[in-house]
Chains A and B, each alone.
Chain A
Amino acid sequence: EAGVAQSPRYKIIEKRQSVAFWCNPISGHATLYWYQQILGQGPKLLIQFQNNGVVDDSQLPKDRFSAERLKGVDSTLKIQPAKLEDSAVYLCASSFTGGRKLGYNEQFFGPGTRLTVL
């Protein structure tokens, strides 16, 4: 079974530039998550999709970050304009169901995109 795919793996941009990340979840997984992981910290949820609808985007800085999941499969996360503090690894994860089902519901993570903002 193919895992969660992300691209690019690395990106270096200057502040105030724009950047976009792409994620392809595991086939059949309805729920997709974007996390931000700053060096030395645990992942922080930015946005959660259930199919193509947003379930939770309470921690997404909406003045500069946007995300979409058209057709309920692939997703893109965009930052416009980038700031120095956006330097982090952006992790995409997927799960078979969303959190509304108790039980296991393991999240599978992609390799991440390491963003450096200069």
Chain B
Amino acid sequence: GQNIDQPTEMTATEGAIVQINCTYQTSGFNGLFWYQQHAGEAPTFLSYNVLDGLEEKGRFSSFLSRSKGYSYLLLKELQMKDSASYLCAVRGSPSNDYKLSFGAGTTVTVRA
């Protein structure tokens, strides 16, 4: 099975940087996704990591260390619209049909 942990809540100031950590213990690993979910809306794709290292995409970056079972999502130059829940999701093994398992999400609140 999959065990995915991420902090429940984080608060930061507009313009600041926030790092959301995700640790996972899985029976198989074939990539890690980060999704953003605004309240009452559908999750939207942010990033995908399958190899170790940092992937940068504008103000958002995602890092993966497979040996440590660890990823983080870095949000820079925070804006009010970044207030949302951020979901870490691990894709499982071929025997599990590469099923996505989600963490509970981290609610980020951006203050003015």
Contact = CB atoms under 8 A, between A and B. Distances in A.
Pair from one complex? yes
26 contacts: A40-B105, A41-B105, A42-B87, A42-B103, A42-B104, A42-B105, A43-B102, A45-B99, A91-B43, A98-B97, A100-B97, A100-B98, A102-B31, A102-B50, A102-B98, A104-B48, A106-B33, A106-B45, A106-B48, A107-B45, A109-B35, A109-B42, A109-B44, A111-B41, A112-B41, A114-B40
Contacts of B21: none
Interface residues on B, range: 20 to 34
A8 interface: no
A42 B68 CA distance: 22
Contacts of B30: 102
Contact of B104 (A4, A41, A98, A110): A41
A19 to B, nearest CB: 19
B87 A99 contact: no
Contacts of B58: none
Q: Helix, strand, loop or mixed for chain A's interface?
A: loop
Pairs of residues from A and B, 8 with the lowest C-beta to C-beta distance, nearest first: A99-B98, A42-B102, A109-B42, A99-B97, A109-B43, A106-B45, A42-B104, A43-B102
A77 interface: no
Contact of B97 (A41, A55, A106, A114): A55
A48 interface: yes
B104 A100 contact: no
Interface of B: 4, 30-31, 33, 35, 40-45, 48, 50, 87, 89, 91, 94, 96-105
Given A91-B43, A110-B42, A112-B42, A40 B99 contact: no
Nearest to A102: B30
Contacts of A102: 30-31, 50, 98
A116 to B, nearest CB: 13
Interface string A16-45: 000000000000000000000000111111
Q: Which of A99, A102, A111, A114 has the most CB of B within 10 A?
A: A99
A111 B42 contact: yes
B42 A99 contact: no
Nearest to B89: A42
